[in-house]
């Protein structure tokens, strides 16, 4: 389910005319390249003829992340191209661990900036010069992750912008996530099924990450591309939100939304955003509701390989009302009935509230966090009762 670009030809002309050029060893600062100066859109859908103004947010709001980056951006490490080439064994195919709209991602090994100590593992993302994402998304990623710090956001270590054999090479260096993505564990047959308890913890962790973006900063951040493939998992399967190339600052003052060209991934974008181009934090809440159903069902939001009446996940689950006896038909068969049905029903109810047609009726992510904490408690109580009943049955059998 890739992102589709509606105004791609128009955008390509703009980039050829106005893309900033940088020399080897460029150090990125908000003063020289403010991401908010650009339309960082990846547009899709038949409604995109309504391409709107860059933003209804104020100019001061547009500069706030940039201003924060002026203070915090110096913590990022500026890498030389040769250093990252050595770290990845010449960007070896054997070390390639992923590929997306931005380009290829490689596993790498680097030392501290002073060259001392043991090497540690990183992920190196290389911008594809012919890819669908470009300089603007790269700058946005650096600015946002140069400022944002949270246990449920991936950590950006540094970046590189240098002259290469094929032109300006732009790269990003992240902490390495050994357990791949949520998408991999939910949908790839080669993966082991995610246990129910772990699915709840992943839902809670990602909700905390989004709540931090929406409500935990002096500036509101709209993630705009929440989906299973952008949820990475660390050593302990704790979730980290990644890929901030499409993130935008939220509205300020009396503004209710940010107006943008419509971007995102089919199956995850809120219908009100697709129809109007009005972007709010509630757009992220809709996407979160979709992923909740993916966690419940083990099905993709859109799967063309399934029968026609099962391809759209949100339509398919409507056949199995939450309080009906048929509800367990939606549950991922790979769970082998090892889950709390009560907790699963509550999670589906939460998903439905996130998927409310009217954006204002969707909960805030801080509310979602509290509901998920309650669902985890329900699940733990159910597990405790089942364990107690198991002991009693064993005692009776022994007696």
pLDDT band at 252 (very low <50, low <70, confident <90, very high): low
Q: Where in the chain is CATH 1.10.510.10? A: 182-241+280-384
Which residue out of 39, 114, 118, 225 is catalytically annotated?
225
Q: Which pLDDT belongs to residue 4?
A: 36
pLDDT at 103 over 60: yes
pLDDT band at 190 (very low <50, low <70, confident <90, very high): confident
Q: List, for residues 232-248, the tens digit of each pLDDT value.
A: 999 999 999 999 989 99
Give the span between the Cα atoms of 72 and 320, in whole angstroms: 49
Q: Pick the closest to residue 208 from 236, 232, 239 (CA basis).
A: 239
Q: Which pLDDT belongs to residue 169?
A: 87
Helix, strand, or coil (residue 107): strand
225 is catalytic: yes
**How far, in Å, are 8, 171, 205 from residue 102 at the CA level?**
15, 10, 25
**Which DSSP letter does residue 237 get?**
-
User: 125: annotated binding-site residue?
Assistant: yes
Residue range 248-274: mean pLDDT, rounded:
80
Q: Which pLDDT belongs to residue 13?
A: 41
Q: Which pLDDT belongs to residue 26?
A: 52
Q: List, for residues 265-302, the tens digit of each pLDDT value.
A: 889 999 999 999 889 999 999 999 999 999 999 999 99
pLDDT at 18 over 50: no
Q: Pick the closest to residue 386 from 322, 337, 334 (CA basis).
A: 337
Helix, strand, or coil (residue 248): strand
Give yes or no for a contact between 59 and 258, defined as CB atoms under 8 angstroms apart.
no
Picking from 26-30, 205-209, 380-384, 392-396, which range would have the lowest pLDDT averaged per residue?
26-30
Instruction: Kindly state the greatest CA–CA separation across the chain.
Output: 84
Averaged pLDDT score across all residues of the chain: 83
Residue range 168-193: mean pLDDT, rounded:
94
Q: Which pLDDT belongs to residue 275?
A: 92
**Which DSSP letter does residue 115 get?**
S
Q: Where are the alpha helices (DSSP H) in the chain?
A: 8-18, 59-62, 64-72, 81-87, 135-147, 182-187, 196-215, 271-276, 281-297, 313-316, 341-354, 365-398
pLDDT at 77 over 50: yes
| Residue 240 or residue 68, greater confidence | 240
Q: Among residues of the chain, what percentage have pLDDT more than 90?
A: 60
Q: List, for residues 120-129, the tens digit of each pLDDT value.
A: 999 999 988 7
pLDDT at 365 over 50: yes
Which H or E run contains 171? Answer: strand 167-175
Q: Residue 311, class by beta-carbon neighbours within 10 Å (0-12 exposed, 13-18 middle, 19+ buried)?
A: middle
pLDDT band at 50 (very low <50, low <70, confident <90, very high): very low
pLDDT at 64 over 50: yes
| Residue 266 or residue 170, greater confidence | 170
CATH superfamily entry for domain 182-241+280-384: Transferase(Phosphotransferase) domain 1 (1.10.510.10)
Residue range 290-315: mean pLDDT, rounded:
96
Give the span between the Cα atoms of 217 and 288, in whole angstroms: 20
Q: Which pLDDT belongs to residue 112?
A: 87
Note the CATH number of domain 8-175.
3.30.200.20
The DSSP-derived string for 364-391 is PHHHHHHHHHHHHHHHHHHHHHHHHHHH
Q: Where in the chain is CATH 3.30.200.20? A: 8-175
Evaluate the CA torsion angle 279, 281, 286, 287 in order and state its sign: positive
Q: How many CA atoms lie within 13 A of 172 on its CB side?
A: 29
pLDDT band at 130 (very low <50, low <70, confident <90, very high): low
Give the span between the Cα atoms of 178 and 235, in whole angstroms: 6
pLDDT at 79 over 80: yes
Count of C-beta atoms within a 10 Å radius of residue 91: 16
Give yes or no for a contact between 244 and 144, defined as CB atoms under 8 angstroms apart.
yes
| Residue 67 or residue 325, greater confidence | 325
Picking from 67-71, 201-205, 218-222, 348-352, which range would have the lowest pLDDT averaged per residue?
67-71
Q: Residue 314, class by beta-carbon neighbours within 10 Å (0-12 exposed, 13-18 middle, 19+ buried)?
A: middle
Helix-then-strand count for the chain, H and E: 12, 12
Give yes or no for a contact between 42 and 139, defined as CB atoms under 8 angstroms apart.
no
């Amino acid at each position: 389910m890739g992102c589709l670009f509606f105004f791609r030809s128009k955008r390509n002309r703009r980039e050829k005319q106005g893309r900033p050029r940088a020399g080897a060893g460029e150090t990125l600062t908000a003063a020289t390249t403010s991401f908010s100066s650009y339309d960082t859109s990846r547009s899709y859908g038949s409604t995109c003829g309504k391409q709107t103004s860059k933003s209804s947010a104020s100019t001061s709001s547009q500069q706030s992340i940039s201003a924060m980056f002026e203070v915090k951006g110096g913590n990022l490490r500026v890498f030389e191209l040769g250093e990252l080439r050595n770290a990845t064994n010449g960007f070896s195919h054997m070390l390639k661990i992923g590929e997306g709209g931005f380009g290829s991602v490689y596993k790498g090994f680097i030392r501290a900036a002073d060259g001392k100590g043991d090497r540690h593992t990183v992920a190196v993302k290389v911008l594809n010069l012919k890819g669908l994402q470009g300089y603007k998304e790269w700058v946005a990623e650096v600015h946002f992750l140069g400022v944002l710090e949270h246990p449920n956001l991936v950590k950006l270590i540094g970046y590189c912008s240098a002259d290469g054999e094929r032109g300006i090479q732009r790269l990003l260096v992240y902490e390495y996530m050994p357990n791949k993505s949520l998408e991999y564990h939910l949908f790839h047959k080669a993966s082991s099924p995610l246990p129910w308890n772990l699915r709840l913890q992943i839902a809670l962790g990602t909700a905390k990450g989004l709540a931090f973006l929406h409500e935990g900063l002096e500036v509101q951040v709209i993630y705009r591309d929440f989906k299973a493939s952008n949820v990475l998992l660390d050593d302990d399967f704790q979730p980290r939100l990644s890929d901030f190339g499409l993130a935008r600052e939220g509205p300020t003052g009396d503004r209710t939304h940010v107006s943008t060209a419509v971007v995102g991934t089919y199956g995850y974008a809120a219908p009100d955003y697709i129809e109007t181009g009005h972007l709010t934090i509630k757009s992220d809440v809709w996407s979160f509701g979709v992923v909740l159903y993916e966690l419940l069902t083990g099905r993709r939001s859109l799967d063309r390989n399934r029968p026609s009446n099962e391809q759209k996940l949100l339509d398919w689950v409507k056949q199995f009302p939450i309080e009906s006896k048929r509800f367990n038909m939606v549950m991922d068969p790979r769970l082998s009935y090892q889950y709390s049905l009560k907790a699963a029903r509550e999670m589906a109810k939460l998903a439905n509230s996130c998927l409310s047609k009217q954006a204002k009726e969707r909960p805030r992510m801080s509310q979602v966090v509290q509901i998920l904490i309650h669902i985890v408690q329900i699940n733990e109580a159910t597990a405790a009762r089942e364990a107690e009943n198991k002991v009693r049955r064993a005692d009776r059998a022994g007696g």
